[in-house]
Amino acid sequence: MKENKRSLLFIILGSFFIANAILAEFIGVKIFSLESSLGMNKANWNILGYSLSFNMTVGVILWPLVFIMTDIINEYYGKRGVKLLSYLAAILISYAFLIIYVGIKLPPADFWINRETDFGNLNMQVAFEQIFGQGLWIIIGSLVAFLIGQVTDVVVFHYLKKKTGEKKLWLRATGSTLVSQLIDSFVVLFIAFYIGAGWDIKLVLGIGLVNYIYKLTVALALTPLLYFIHRIIDNYLGKELSETMMREAHDPN
């Protein structure tokens, strides 16, 4: 029964982790205004000579949840659990992009191409390509940033775990997320837009800083959610199994 609970929990956490990672990649093609969504005036901060506001990829809605799941998985299954799911997520994201590429290249049916809408005639093939056909550098950048961020999160989490023991879950979870997100925020932009699109490095750094401020704020705001999920899992596993799994997860042997 204990092994069943351990396995079922890993499947649930892993499925949610991978599903959110894949969704974040595909909805990330849309850029939204955070200030407009909240009914606020645009920040218009002058950063490195550019006027920047919180215009971000929709993927930032899900990535904080991915990193919370990373910390939860880290807590109960250790480095091996996080690395296994991270590599699996990267493989499945690559597979998904490959299938989308094949779908884009398939000849469209004549009757499907043109669609009349309230905003005029819409070319469905062009829309499909624009929405799903993300550039190669964006795909590479997001995958590299994801893997580096995950590995960094694991390393920092376990370092803080050694320092804090079983106490201060918020510190090791939030601390590891803030460090990993700092790297993730800049790596993806550097590869996708500085290398891939030739953007000014100052613009890349400025956008990365704005994105990181958002991620930092969200990570802190979601700390209660981390404890809530932790409590649900502890109640599901039972005190004995929960403590055993957390001890084994961080056993160097």
For position 253, what pLDDT does the model report?
Answer: 56
The verdict on residue 30 lying in a domain is yes
CA distances from 202 to 152, 189, 199 (A): 25, 11, 8
- Consecutive 10-residue averages of pLDDT for the chain (253 residues): 84 94 86 88 87 86 84 90 93 92 92 87 89 80 88 86 76 83 86 85 88 85 87 91 86 62
The verdict on residue 229 lying in a domain is yes
Are the C-beta atoms of residues 180 and 150 closer than 8 Å to each other?
yes
The verdict on residue 151 lying in a domain is yes
**Tokens of residue 19, six digits:** 């599903």
Domain extent, residue 6, equals: 2-248
Beta strands in 68-117 (DSSP E): 114-117
Total domain count, the chain? 1
For position 1, what pLDDT does the model report?
Answer: 60
For position 252, what pLDDT does the model report?
Answer: 60
**Tokens of residue 149, six digits:** 């961020």
The verdict on residue 18 lying in a domain is yes
What phi, psi does 51 have (nearest 5°)? -90, 110
The verdict on residue 156 lying in a domain is yes
For position 236, what pLDDT does the model report?
Answer: 92
The verdict on residue 146 lying in a domain is yes
The model carries a pTM of 0.85
The verdict on residue 35 lying in a domain is yes
What phi, psi does 79 have (nearest 5°)? -60, -45
The verdict on residue 253 lying in a domain is no
Are the C-beta atoms of residues 12 and 4 closer than 8 Å to each other?
no
d(CA 28, CA 16): 18
